[in-house]
Amino acid sequence: MADQEIEEAVSRALDEAPPRNFRETVDLAVNLRDIDLNDPSNRVDESVVLPRGTGQDTSIVVFAEGETAVRAEEVTDDVLDSDDLADLGDDDNAAKDLAADTDFFLAEESMMQDIGRYLGTVLGPRGKMPDPISPDDDVVELVERLKNSVQMRSGDRRTFHTRVGAEDMSAEEIADNIDVIIRRLEADLEKGPLNIDTVYVKTTMGPAVEVV
């Protein structure tokens, strides 16, 4: 269960958000300190499974053929084969659109080399290179896991944002998600909690409320 202070901050953010005519996401803004982000090894770049889900649809595309492709079609947004991959390699705009519209990619291990060749320059800088699917993996299980995941990526900036829920989720649910993200950061950063300056929670258009 999340810290009571986190839940109270989320409640304030939800209560103070002005009404909108669309369903807002709830985002976390993390400000880092005392860390050299010019060194790529210090940067935050990983996906985190949220225990209460994202509250939003997560777009997932799978590169696969054969039985894996058939199974993936049941649970994912799109399945692309080798021919589709080659077509994307010839159409830079289509590749960029796909990268922009997709949260996560999965790909059979046998296709990873070609994905690097055709799409590496598009997906790599965006932190969206596919997670590989080994022959023993259950593609359905992998997709379902990613549907509840968000990407934390700082790049070389001390402030980065990540989604932690939606406005119609309860404050407790969102706070549980935030707690997992903060714990992951504290475990992964070189100096743990000392590398976290401040953390704010807000809805898409609402005011920011300090969490840490």
CATH code of the domain containing 29: 3.30.190.20
State whether residue 9 is helix, strand or coil: helix
Tell me: do 155 and 195 sit in the same domain.
Answer: yes
Question: What is the C-alpha separation between 32 and 38, in angstroms, rounded?
Answer: 13
* DSSP state, residue 63: E
Domain that holds residue 91: 60-146
Tell me: do 50 and 122 sit in the same domain.
Answer: no
When pLDDT is averaged across residues 83-91 and rounded to a whole number, the result is 96
Tell me: do 51 and 103 sit in the same domain.
Answer: no
Question: What is the C-alpha separation between 104 and 82, in angstroms, rounded?
Answer: 18
Mean pLDDT of the chain: 94
For residue range 126-161, list pLDDT tens digits in order. 989 999 999 999 999 999 999 999 999 999 999 999
Q: Provide the H-helix boundaries in the chain.
A: 4-16, 66-73, 82-89, 92-101, 112-123, 139-147, 171-188
pTM, two decimals, is: 0.83
Tokens in use for 19?
């009404």
pLDDT at 96 over 70: yes
pLDDT at 2 over 70: no
pLDDT at 1 over 70: no
Instruction: Output phi, psi for 26, to 5 deg.
Output: -115, 125
At 74, which CATH number? 3.40.50.790
Contact of 7 with 173, CB cutoff 8 Å:
no
- pLDDT band at 166, cuts 50/70/90? very high
